[in-house]
Every structure is written in structure tokens, then in C-alpha cells.
């Protein structure tokens, strides 16, 4: 099994922010990434729909011979990871908004969280948030429309700036000093967010932590690829191939992009 690829999926192209961290921390691992752009966004869907889509993606990655699954989507993790873990007998890694580090580091005792409706309303998120934010004010905002714009390739646009500004302004009014990006699409918005936020606000995403967690779980399960040969990376989309190619063109890791029906 050690020579088999790491399987990663997201509702769309956002999970490439996680793939990037995994491929740079684990350069000798092969990876297969699925961008389920055809069904994006997941954030507005019911829990049942999110579970059905997550099972579909996992089945596809298993059919492609993956040894471990990384759910590179907060919405899929917070709604479906329990079902996936009980249904499949291989390690499954999930991603959740990084509330804990923000709660530990905040000085103003006010943190902002930007995520999808599906994530913010999930039982798992509410439980984690309650656990770490006892004496902290959490300003949660649903990033309605952000994933849609990113999936249309409209990242660096006035429309995006205005929408983001409208979500961040109420957080700034409350004097947050940490902003948690609770969706794997959002790290692509960091350059715009930096224009909106002052230097006093730290942006936190979970990408590096998930890559470290993936490495730990591979080691624990004796699944690390023993070969010192640079990994091969294949990224599939069931949506617009040029969009995926475009977003990956800024990432200096050799890869192949293909379309696939799933």
C-alpha cells in the first residue's frame, strides 16, 4: 500500500490550497486530487447531499487506488467525516476551521470566522467552537457567494473586493485580531483580505496543519512511501479544466490536470 497515492477531494478548486501544502511537505508521495466543481458549492446544500457527494468522491479515490483520503473541504468534513470514517477502513483526514489557535492567541478576545453556511451550522463546528471559545467573542460570517466567484475565476475583481469588504467590516467594527478562514477556497482571497484588514489582524488557515496531520497519520499507519522519487500529481476536475489549470499555474509543483466524470 505504501506506494499508492494520497487521495484528496474538495467541492471544487479550493482544496488545491491543501494539496499544495501536502505535496510540499511530502515530496515523495504521489497524489490524486478531485475537484468536484460540477457540484460546487457544497456550502448551501443539505447535510444529506453533502454526505452523498463525499461518499461519491471517496469511492472514486478508492477506485483510483488511494491509500488515505484527505477531505480538503471544511463543509464536507464537518458534515460527512463521521459517516466516511465508519464506512471505510482506511485513514481519513478532515479539515475544520482553526478556531483553537485563534482562541489561544487572541489579545482582544474577539475573533472572526468566515466559512460556509454548511460549516457554521454543523454540529461538529458548533461543538468545537463551544469548546475553545468560552471567554471569547466569535463573530461568525457566512461567506455567501465567495466560493461561486472563485469557481468562476473571478478572484481579483471589484465584485469580490466589495463582497469581502461587506463581510469583514462588521468584524473590524468589533475589533477582531484574528480571522479564521474556514473554507479551503478562501486562502486564494488572502491578498485581497490583506488590503481590507489592518496589520493588527492575523489571518489563520488550516493548510499547513492538515499537511502535518497527514504526515503523522501516514507514519503511524506505516503508509509513508519508502521511495525517494519525486511524487507524481494528477488533479482531476469534473468542471472547467482551464480554471483548475489557471489556479495551479502559480504553484511551482509539477502536476498533470485532467477532466474526469465523477
Task: Give the position of cell 491509500.
Answer: 67
For ligand DGL, the nearest residue by Cβ is 43
Q: CB of 10: closest distance to ligand DGL in angstroms?
A: 5
Q: CB of 122: closest distance to ligand DGL in angstroms?
A: 10
**CB 247, CB 16: distance < 8 Å:** yes
119 is a site residue for ligand DGL (CB under 6 A)? yes
User: 225 or 237: whose CB is closer to ligand DGL?
Assistant: 237
Rounded CA-CA distance 214/205 in Å is 16
Q: For residues 156-169, b (16+ Cβ closer than 10 Å) or e, as one string?
A: eeeebeebbeebbe
User: 26 or 125: whose CB is closer to ligand DGL?
Assistant: 125
207's grid cell: 493548510
The 3-state DSSP class for residue 28 equals: coil
**Which candidate in 53, 66, 160, 183 is catalytic?**
183
φ/ψ of 117, rounded to 5, equals -60, -40
Residue from 31, 75, 79, 129 binding ligand DGL (CB under 6 A): 75
187 is a site residue for ligand DGL (CB under 6 A)? no
Residue from 7, 11, 21, 141 binding ligand DGL (CB under 6 A): 11
User: 81 or 223: whose CB is closer to ligand DGL?
Assistant: 81
Residue from 10, 29, 96, 177 binding ligand DGL (CB under 6 A): 10
66 in catalytic set: no
Task: Write the DSSP symbol of residue 4.
Answer: S
Residue from 9, 19, 42, 167 binding ligand DGL (CB under 6 A): 42
**Which candidate in 73, 115, 164, 197 is catalytic?**
73
Across the chain, where does the E strand assignment appear?
6-10, 31-35, 68-71, 92-93, 110-115, 137-142, 178-182, 202-204, 233-237, 256-259
Residue from 116, 129, 237, 238 binding ligand DGL (CB under 6 A): 116
**CB 80, CB 71: distance < 8 Å:** yes
* 188: number of Cβ within 10 Å: 20
4's grid cell: 499508492
Residue from 147, 192, 201, 211 binding ligand DGL (CB under 6 A): 147
Q: Which helix or strand (DSSP H or E) is residue 85 part of?
A: helix 74-87
20 is a site residue for ligand DGL (CB under 6 A)? no
73 in catalytic set: yes
Task: Give the position of cell 501516514.
Answer: 218
120 is a site residue for ligand DGL (CB under 6 A)? no
Residue from 37, 57, 184, 238 binding ligand DGL (CB under 6 A): 184
73 is a site residue for ligand DGL (CB under 6 A)? yes
The catalytic residue positions are 73, 183
In the complex, which residues of this chain contact ligand DGL (CB under 6 A)? 10-12, 14-15, 40-43, 73-75, 116, 119, 147, 183-185
Amino acid at each position: 500500500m505504501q506506494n499508492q497515492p494520497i487521495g484528496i477531494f474538495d467541492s471544487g478548486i479550493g482544496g488545491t490550497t491543501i494539496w499544495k501544502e501536502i505535496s510540499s511537505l511530502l515530496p515523495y508521495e504521489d497524489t490524486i486530487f478531485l475537484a468536484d466543481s460540477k457540484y460546487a458549492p457544497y456550502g448551501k446544500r443539505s447535510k444529506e447531499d453533502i454526505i452523498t457527494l463525499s461518499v461519491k468522491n471517496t469511492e472514486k479515490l478508492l477506485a483510483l487506488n488511494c491509500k488515505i483520503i484527505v477531505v480538503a473541504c471544511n463543509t464536507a468534513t464537518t458534515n460527512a467525516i463521521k459517516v466516511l470514517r465508519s464506512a471505510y477502513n482506511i485513514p481519513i483526514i478532515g479539515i475544520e476551521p482553526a478556531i483553537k489557535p485563534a482562541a489561544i492567541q487572541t489579545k482582544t478576545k474577539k475573533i472572526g470566522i468566515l466559512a460556509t453556511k454548511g460549516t457554521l451550522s454543523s454540529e461538529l463546528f458548533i461543538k468545537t467552537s463551544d469548546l475553545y471559545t468560552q471567554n471569547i467573542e466569535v463573530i461568525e460570517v457566512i461567506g455567501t457567494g465567495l466560493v461561486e466567484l472563485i469557481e468562476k475565476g473571478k478572484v481579483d475583481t471589484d465584485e469580490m473586493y466589495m463582497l469581502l469588504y461587506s463581510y469583514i467590516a462588521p468584524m473590524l467594527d468589533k475589533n477582531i485580531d484574528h480571522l479564521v478562514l474556514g473554507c479551503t477556497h478562501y486562502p486564494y482571497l488572502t491578498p485581497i483580505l490583506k488590503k481590507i484588514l489592518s496589520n493588527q489582524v492575523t489571518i489563520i488557515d488550516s493548510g499547513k496543519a492538515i499537511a502535518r496531520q497527514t504526515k503523522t497519520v501516514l507514519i503511524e499507519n506505516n503508509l509513508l512511501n519508502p521511495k525517494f522519487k519525486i511524487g507524481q500529481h494528477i488533479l482531476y476536475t469534473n468542471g472547467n479544466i482551464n480554471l483548475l489549470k489557471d489556479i495551479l499555474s502559480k504553484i511551482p509543483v509539477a502536476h498533470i490536470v485532467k477532466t474526469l466524470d465523477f
